[in-house]
Amino acid sequence: MTNYLELRLPDDPTMAYCHYPIEREFPREEYQLRIDSARRAMRGADIDALVITSSAIGRWFTGATEPHSWHDKVASRLTLYILTPDADYLYITPTNNHNFATSRRMTWVSDVREIVERTEWPRVEIWGLGQIRQIFAELGIEAARLGFELGDTMTLGMNFNDFCALRTELKRAEFVDASPILRRLMAIQTPLEIERVRKACRAGQWIHERLPEILRSGMTERALFECLAEVFRESFGKDYGYRPEGGWDVRNQRDNDYNLYHGVVTDRPFRAGDLICRGTSGASYLGYPGDIDRIWYLGDPPTVVLTSYRKVWECNRRMAEAIRPGATCSDIYAASAAVERKFGGRIGRSGRRGHGLRNTGGLSVHPDNHTVLEPGMIISVEPMFGDADGFFDLEDQYLVTDHGRECLHDPAPEDLPCIGA
């Protein structure tokens, strides 16, 4: 049997190179705050070590850029982030022996170690499963309670067969579901995260407000996107990003002309009678999204459109008023349903009416989600209804505070923004 410990690189000569300075995604104090919170959660759940294998969770600890080879991103490789009560480790594959230095310079993880790129036929992965057992033994956790991403809204960054084999090999270890503590960790944002989302949302609000100034009848979708991208680039610095394409829905019931929710750029010209919705803002700040949805009408809207806009706006506001510590996601959904009943007709069939900053948080505004809101959570209100007259979707982002809520930007306007045709 292969002794993977003997195959490790004896040292990392690249650390001695003269390196160009690289700015980390967040300061050391932020990393310490995150691992301190995780360790408190581990103690409360009686978990000896967190074993993180997916990029969705792992990058919350390491940053979004490095390492690049999480298994769900590069299926032939493996990355492990392991947190114990007194240490933190990042195990990665060295590929060409030249990415250890970059990961050490771009993450705050204390100990970055190697996963050896060797295996035993007929296994076709480039790394051998047997070394994971050796790694756990080396760390003294081969007989510990190990918390993995096993529950709702979690995805292992390891294939099912490997996980089952590892559990069989580590007979003295207890493999437990750490998703409850991971969901809560990811759902309660740090002050740094809140500020980044706030900046992203305000940039998203700003670019939405530019659309009525730019769009005119006859302009193509492609031309609009080019103008929006240019004005955003001229007004925001390098830490901001903007993606103009994606999430657009245009419906013109009068002309029987539709360009439903799409993620590509088209050459369709805008025209009078268009109900335009964008189901995001496209703006971000240091990777954090400004997920704000807005609606516009090109020309003079008919009564049916104004009524639908009024309904979705009232749903949005009543839902926002339901946000407070101790309320549940289902309470927010119920506020939307109450407004829908007032307007008559069936309750809309969208699966949820809002969400947390990350799906890993388990914060879905849904009638069957009874997650209790806590200060520090960011949750959106997003009522949406679609018919031949348009896609009516208004989304705002709210921070749960100690005594209620705070909208992280200006909320959706009460009156439908109209653009002269």
**All domains in the chain, ordered by first residue:** 4-185 (3.40.350.10), 191-419 (3.90.230.10)
pLDDT, residue 12, reads: 75
pLDDT, residue 96, reads: 58
pLDDT, residue 10, reads: 76
- Reported as a single tens digit per residue, the pLDDT across 137-161 is 999 999 999 999 999 888 899 999 9
pLDDT, residue 156, reads: 93
Question: How far apart are the C-alpha atoms of 384 and 371, rounded to whole Å?
Answer: 21
Number of other residues whose CB lies within 10 A of the CB of residue 409:
22
In the structure encoding, which two tokens stand for residue 49, read together? 């070590």
pLDDT, residue 362, reads: 86
How far, in whole angstroms, is CA 195 from its chain's centroid? 16
pLDDT, residue 256, reads: 96
Given pLDDT bands bounded at 50, 70 and 90, which one contains residue 11? confident
Q: Residue 98 above 70 pLDDT?
A: no
- Reported as a single tens digit per residue, the pLDDT across 324-351 is 999 999 999 999 999 999 998 777 777 8
275 in Cβ contact with 295 (< 8 Å): yes
pLDDT, residue 419, reads: 97
Express as a percent the part of the chain with pLDDT over 90. Answer: 81
pLDDT, residue 342, reads: 92
Amino acid identity at 88? D
- Reported as a single tens digit per residue, the pLDDT across 179-209 is 999 999 999 999 999 999 999 999 999 999 9
Identify any residues that bridge with 54 across adjacent strands, giving them in sequence order.
Answer: none
395 compared with 6, residue with greater pLDDT: 395
Given pLDDT bands bounded at 50, 70 and 90, which one contains residue 97? low
Among the listed residues 66, 74, 55, 58, the one whose alpha carbon sits nearest the alpha carbon of residue 105: 66
Q: Residue 241 above 80 pLDDT?
A: yes
- CA atoms within 13 Å, Cβ hemisphere of 73: 16
- Mean pLDDT, rounded, of the chain: 94
pLDDT, residue 99, reads: 61
Average pLDDT of span 371-390? 96
42 in Cβ contact with 85 (< 8 Å): yes
pLDDT, residue 56, reads: 92
Identify any residues that bridge with 385 across adjacent strands, giving them in sequence order.
Answer: 392
Q: Is residue 136 within a helix (H) or strand (E), and if so which, with residue range?
A: helix 130-139
Q: Residue 68 above 90 pLDDT?
A: no
- Reported as a single tens digit per residue, the pLDDT across 247-304 is 999 999 999 999 999 999 999 999 999 999 999 999 999 999 999 999 999 999 999 9
Average pLDDT of span 409-420? 97
pLDDT, residue 358, reads: 81
Torsion sign across C-alpha atoms 180, 186, 191, 194: negative
pLDDT, residue 295, reads: 98
Contacts of 361 (CB under 8 A, 6+ apart): 153, 183, 186, 187, 377
Under the phi-then-psi rule, with left for phi > 0, alpha for psi from -120 to 50, and beta for the rest, what region is 175? Answer: beta
Q: Residue 416 above 80 pLDDT?
A: yes
